[in-house]
Amino acid sequence: MAPSPNALNASPSLFNEDLAPAEHRNWGAFSLFNVWTSDVHSLWGYYLAASLFLLCGNFVNFVLAIGTGSIVIFLLTNLVGYAGVRTGVPYPVLARESFGVFGANLPALVRAIVACFWYGAQTAAASGAIVALLTRWPFDIGSDLFRRSLGTTALDHSARNGDCAALPGLGRTSGLGNDVGSGRRTEAHGWLSIWGGIPQDVLLEKTRDAGVPGTPGSFASLAGVAATWVTYFAALYLNFCDFSRYAPNEAAVRKGNIWACP
């Protein structure tokens, strides 16, 4: 249990069990590694990876650009991660050092708004994926299943979208009341798939409206890919103390981040 506000002479409006320094430090390097895998394993993450691969032109360029961005991410994550280990507090409390006690509410609220956006974006992408799977199922089992559940003989596109949106929405909402440890216990893993080069005419056609200067594979494109990679994970490494506060030491943070970079 966290110490009481009276024991710390803290104001009850500024202190609660969630904001108190972490008491249990049982997140090893593998748990912190899984924080990164769970952030990558999303439809938007796959969209981004595919887009960046096109801008790089081939696998070697992709590794160079992503590797450069990952080194920057690694350094920034360690800085924030060490703060979490040393203080044991989450980001809203750590932000008080820079923004003041009440000023820290601003970045905390901005983070919450971004989280709400991503909740909606990921749920919409997941529902679209379910719709695509059901409509392309060879035995049309998806349509039959929805017809029986809705008691209808026909299922139009909008109704199917609505029902499919409810499935990932319910799944994601069911975890909101759990502690952060429950997420650690349910994170999944994947594997690496290597693909070679892409014809130049295909690259130019697919990246024409990407807004990145230079042709695919040029230095400007690779720099844009590295910067995009750093930006994509900005929210995670900014808030990494939310997770590293449960690590027993700084070595676990470094090791987990080193594993996560590839």
* pLDDT per residue as tens digits for the range 1-18: 455 554 467 677 777 888
Using the predicted structure, report yes or no on whether residue 160 has a pLDDT greater than 80: no
Residue 219 lies in a domain: yes
Residue 3 lies in a domain: no
The H or E element containing residue 152 is none
Q: Is 69 exposed, middle or buried (0-12, 13-18, 19+ CB in 10 A)?
A: buried
Separation between Cα atoms, residue 202 and residue 115, nearest integer Å: 35
CA 211: distance to chain centroid?
Answer: 24
Neighbour tally for 241: CB within 10 Å: 29
Reported residue count of the chain is: 262
Token representation of residue 232? 């994509």
E-state strands within 170-236: none
Q: Is 136 exposed, middle or buried (0-12, 13-18, 19+ CB in 10 A)?
A: exposed
Determine contact, residues 32/243, Cβ cutoff 8 Å.
Answer: yes
Residue 95 lies in a domain: no
Separation between Cα atoms, residue 102 and residue 192, nearest integer Å: 44
> Which range has the worst mean pLDDT, 106-110, 125-129, 181-185?
181-185
Using the predicted structure, report yes or no on whether residue 183 has a pLDDT greater than 70: no
Largest CA distance in the chain: 68
Query: What's the rounded mean pLDDT across residues 70-96?
Result: 92
Q: How many domains does the chain have?
A: 1
Separation between Cα atoms, residue 176 and residue 174, nearest integer Å: 6
Separation between Cα atoms, residue 216 and residue 56, nearest integer Å: 5
* DSSP-assigned states of every residue in 79-128: HHHHHHHHH---HHHHTHHHH-TTTTHHHHHHHHHHHHHHHHHHHHHHHH
Residue 228 lies in a domain: yes
- Domain containing 142 equals 25-90+102-260
Residue 106 lies in a domain: yes
> Which range has the worst mean pLDDT, 43-57, 107-121, 146-160, 234-248?
146-160
pLDDT at 19: 84
Separation between Cα atoms, residue 257 and residue 239, nearest integer Å: 14
Residue 11 lies in a domain: no
Residue 1 lies in a domain: no
Give the type of residue at 101: V
Residue 96 lies in a domain: no
pTM above 0.95, yes or no: no
